[in-house]
Chain A
Amino acid sequence: MSLISCQDVTFSYEGRNVITGLNFAVDKGDYLCIVGENGSGKSTLIKGILQLKAANKGFLTLGDGLRLNEIGYLPQQTNVQKDFPASVWEVVLSGCLNALGYKPFFGKNEITRANEQMQTLHISNLRNCCYRDLSGGQQQRVLLARALCASHKLLVLDEPVTGLDPVVTMQFYHLLKEINRAQGVSIIMVTHDIKEAVSQADHILHLHNKQLYFGSVSGYMNTALGKFFSGGGQDACNLR
């Protein structure tokens, strides 16, 4: 059974359909990129996957033992975080909250888990640093560690490389790939950089208020859509 499966799902706000006809599934170990322009319904779909918004039509189901709060989420940066006094350790540890249940404080298990994730992402040396003093790339690693504390099954990333320079972006993608391959963590990443999506992911979901394509990357590259968007500036200009 798939971790997430969508059957003919529609999301709408106040009666207006934002996105319709979603039919896709994410299996264990998949790396799916959701691509599309601004306003194409990507963020709405993310809300749906995180169960923050209910589907207005169709069925969006979690399976394969994935529980509601077992999704590691890496949100777009908000303004609040930019001047927030918090150490790296506090931020990473807060990812373990879903394991607490009704306990008020963190125990040994959560602390071990947070330490492990920091080692995996090579940020143990930043432990006592202030989150706001870190570079953009380091901040994203911290948030990734927090997301991994929350889930070892599925990561959902919303435009994770916005504002990062090219070198750091490549490092971050590399890290994601490693987590996906070595640990078998499924990844769903929203991006508007289709070229990168094609080179990183194994599945593509292309949205434009409806589902334009879902399937493997190689299949996507054979469609006119895939050629058009991933061909780079020159081809795209010629087509126009």
Chain B
Amino acid sequence: MLAIFVEMFSYDFILRALIVGVLVSLCSALLGVSLVLKRYSMIGDGLSHVGFSALAFAMVLNIAPLYVAIPVVVVAAFLLLRLSENGKIRGDAAIAMISSGALALGVFAISITKGMNVDMSSYMFGSILAMDNSDVVLSICLSIMVLCLFAIFYNRIFAVTFDENFARATGINAERYNALIAFLSAVTIVLGMRMMGALLISSLIVFPPLSSMQIFKTFRNVVLSSALLSVGCFLLGLCVSYLWATPTGASVVMANILAFLFFYSIGFARDRMKG
């Protein structure tokens, strides 16, 4: 058993995936708690599709993908936030429109210039081979930024998530914190989407918080539990994907599904016992 792990982590690409994956799982779980509670779960999905489109264009134009995708997705995040707060098109419809529109745009651009190929499927469903060393460095820096900002503004993020009106009344600039959450989510999604895949990355945002909410009843415990759970599921998924040669993204999501079912049954059983 130990030998397998030693062998597994002797590969550079797995080590890179491990570092980026753990950091991204941590960030997305923390932000996910706030996004899920604010009814913004779909924004994660929308952003990842925009990210796919940005990666496709970066590939067509031969530019380093992260440098294109991060600014584009950050801008999209602010737009989505604006649309869900006010505007003539309802928030959920706007997200559906933007995500399918962006996906189509990306597919269109690639197929015109390079034809449908393996790269595209790896963007959609993720690939563990996608990252090089410079990506890893960038991921580490940005993840640390996300974690620090989340920790510093933890109390304010709680207040804005729990009750925006009260937060505003006590002089907290709620828009600024909504924008902060959107910005951090955008960065996290782009960092994680090449390993997890554009279609699967949003699961990292919704699953760990939702699983944790089945059992834990305070905000702090939900945040801590989803962070741990998310990292645990990622590690499990990574091992499974190595042992059985399954795609990493899908394996991580499978681990998250199992964790959710497990937490859900515990919560269900506990409520039953209480009567």
Q: Would you call A95 and B217 a contact (CB within 8 A)?
A: no
Q: Would you call B169 and A94 a contact (CB within 8 A)?
A: no
Which of the 9-residue segments A74-82, A181-189, A197-205 touches chain B?
A: A74-82
Question: Which residues between 140 and 185 of chain B lie within 8 Å of chain A, taking CB atoms?
Answer: 151-156, 158-159, 161-163, 165-172
Against B, the Cβ 8 Å flags (1 = close, 0 = not) of A78-89 are: 101101111100
A86/B162 contact (C-beta < 8 A), A80-B39, A94-B155, A106-B155 known: yes
> A81 vs B159: C-alpha distance in the bound complex, in angstroms?
12
A-B residue pair count with CB separations less than 8 angstroms: 90
Q: Would you call B162 and A97 a contact (CB within 8 A)?
A: no
Size category of the binding interface on chain A: 20 to 34
Q: Would you call A80 and B37 a contact (CB within 8 A)?
A: yes
Q: Would you call A78 and B165 a contact (CB within 8 A)?
A: yes
> A106 vs B156: C-alpha distance in the bound complex, in angstroms?
11
Asked whether any CB of chain A lies closer than 8 Å to the CB of B43, the reply is no
Q: Would you call B168 and A85 a contact (CB within 8 A)?
A: no
A97/B170 contact (C-beta < 8 A), A90-B220, A104-B155 known: yes
Q: Would you call A104 and B152 a contact (CB within 8 A)?
A: yes
| Chain A hits for B221, CB < 8 A | 85
Q: Would you call A85 and B155 a contact (CB within 8 A)?
A: no
Q: Taking chain B's interface residues, is the majority helix, strand, or loop, or is none over half, making it mixed?
A: helix
Q: Would you call A97 and B219 a contact (CB within 8 A)?
A: no
| Chain B hits for A86, CB < 8 A | 158, 162, 218-219
| Chain B hits for A50, CB < 8 A | 168-169
A130/B218 contact (C-beta < 8 A), A52-B168, A80-B37, A97-B170 known: yes
Asked whether any CB of chain A lies closer than 8 Å to the CB of B213, the reply is yes
| Chain B hits for A156, CB < 8 A | 169
> A160 vs B103: C-alpha distance in the bound complex, in angstroms?
46
> A105 vs B153: C-alpha distance in the bound complex, in angstroms?
8
> A114 vs B168: C-alpha distance in the bound complex, in angstroms?
19
| Chain B hits for A104, CB < 8 A | 151-155
> A84 vs B39: C-alpha distance in the bound complex, in angstroms?
11
New contact pairs (10) apart from A73-B169, A100-B155, A150-B170, CB-CB < 8 Å: A71-B170, A78-B163, A81-B162, A84-B219, A85-B217, A90-B219, A90-B220, A94-B155, A97-B159, A97-B170
- Chain B residues close to A by CB (< 8 Å): 37-39, 151-156, 158-159, 161-163, 165-172, 213, 216-222
Q: Which 9 A-B pairs have the closest CB atoms?
A: A69-B171, A130-B217, A73-B169, A87-B218, A98-B170, A75-B165, A50-B169, A94-B159, A104-B152
